[in-house]
Amino acid sequence: MKEKISVTIDSNVLKEIEPLIDGIKIRNKSQAVEFLLRKTLSENRNAVILMGGPEDKLKINGVLKPLVKIKNKTVIEHMIDNFKKYKFSNIYIVGRKNILSEIFKTIGDGSSYNVNFNYVEEKDEKPVTLQDSARTLKLLRGKIKSPFICSYCDIMFDYNLDVIWNSHSSNKNMVTSLLKTTQTPRKWGVVTVNGNKIIKFVEKPKKVNSNLVYTGIFISEPDILEMPGNSLEYEIFPKLAEEEKLAGYICSGNSKHIHEKN
């Protein structure tokens, strides 16, 4: 939906955007301004890495899962590389103080990666479990006011995030979940789809009739931060599926959760 607004722009700036008007893709100054705004926003995308819950549950052999080394880089560094490749330059890292301290020792403030890290501490006033993913995510309420991509901290992936981002931007769903097929669906959030809509989402079901599952990566509108519920997988995603506000996208590429012990 287009909305008409009135803005004041320096005449010299208007002259600079005139070469963009080709009469085909960009036919006037309004479209040129919109093109530049979209380009600027696309180069400043938000990404979220969730590290909520008890510290011991995020470790393998005493090492935090995001700090496990694979091919001479930690898992979180691989994630940062992927986010940076697709212009996700604002990265929010959410977790408890001790976890954030360990992560900071490895990756710092983001300057060496040419991105911006925002560390958000999860307080311990209330017990938080790994199933309280929505409670952890909602700590970003008021901090993120535009669409964002979110991933759990223990995932290695090589998906084309531009394709997924553009798919989400073109539909009217609150969330677009990245999906994949697996031979062990009971360990995952199993989905039933109709076209690109997820019409049913069941986390770790006892009985399954699909091998299509949620990868732990999704793109969302900031509205999700206002939804009731403590768990993404057990409460919010099933609710969004019922309301037909949850999309699914199967993308070429691979992902692996760092669950297995070395």
CATH number of the structural domain spanning residue 107:
3.90.550.10
For residue 150, pLDDT beyond 90: yes
Higher pLDDT, 44 or 156: 156
**What's phi and psi for 6, nearest 5 deg?**
-115, 125
111 within a domain of the structure (yes/no)? yes
Can you count the helices (H) and strands (E) in the chain? Answer: 7, 15
Q: How many domains does the chain have?
A: 2
Do 122 and 193 share a domain, yes or no? no
Do 91 and 140 share a domain, yes or no? yes
Note the pLDDT of residue 185.
Answer: 85
Taking the C-alpha atoms of residue 258 and residue 210, their distance in angstroms, rounded to an integer, is: 23
Contact 258, 154 (CB under 8 A): yes
Do 151 and 180 share a domain, yes or no? no
Do 68 and 120 share a domain, yes or no? yes
Residue 256 pairs in a beta bridge with 156
CB < 8 Å & 24+ apart, contacts of 225-229: 225/137, 225/138, 225/140, 225/141, 225/144, 226/141, 227/134, 229/134
Do 52 and 130 share a domain, yes or no? yes
3-class SS at 31?
helix
Higher pLDDT, 55 or 192: 192
CA 51 to chain centre: 13
Q: Which of 129, 156, 183 is the last residue of a domain?
A: 156
Q: How confident is the model at residue 261 (pLDDT cuts 50, 70, 90)?
A: very low
Stretch 65-77: mean pLDDT: 94
Taking the C-alpha atoms of residue 48 and residue 35, their distance in angstroms, rounded to an integer, is: 26
Q: Which of 131, 156, 181 is the last residue of a domain?
A: 156
- Mean of pLDDT over the chain: 87
Do 149 and 59 share a domain, yes or no? yes
167 within a domain of the structure (yes/no)? no
In the chain, % of residues over pLDDT 90:
61
Do 125 and 183 share a domain, yes or no? no
164 within a domain of the structure (yes/no)? no
237 within a domain of the structure (yes/no)? yes
With a CB cutoff of 8 Å and minimum separation 6, the contacts of 134 are 227, 229, 230, 231, 232, 235, 236
Do 140 and 185 share a domain, yes or no? no
247 within a domain of the structure (yes/no)? yes
pLDDT tens for 233-242 read 999 999 999 9
3-class SS at 76?
helix
* Listed range (23-32, 140-149, 164-173) with the worst mean pLDDT: 23-32
Do 146 and 182 share a domain, yes or no? no
Q: Which residue in this structure is represented by tokens 């040129």?
A: 32
Do 177 and 148 share a domain, yes or no? no
Do 152 and 189 share a domain, yes or no? no
Q: Letter for the amino acid at 36?
A: L
Do 177 and 116 share a domain, yes or no? no
23 within a domain of the structure (yes/no)? no
Burial of 236 (0-12, 13-18, 19+ CB in 10 A): buried
pLDDT tens for 97-137 read 999 999 999 999 999 999 999 999 998 655 455 568 999 99
Which tokens hold the place of 262?
């070395």
User: H-type helices in the chain, by residue range?
Assistant: 11-17, 29-42, 75-85, 97-107, 133-137, 161-170, 237-242
Task: Indicate the pTM of the whole model.
Answer: 0.83
Q: How confident is the model at residue 153 (pLDDT cuts 50, 70, 90)?
A: very high
For residue 1, pLDDT beyond 50: no
* Listed range (68-72, 87-91, 251-255) with the worst mean pLDDT: 251-255
For residue 215, pLDDT beyond 70: yes
Q: Which of 156, 184, 217 is the last residue of a domain?
A: 156
212 within a domain of the structure (yes/no)? yes
Note the pLDDT of residue 9.
Answer: 80
Structural domain containing residue 64: 44-156
14 within a domain of the structure (yes/no)? no
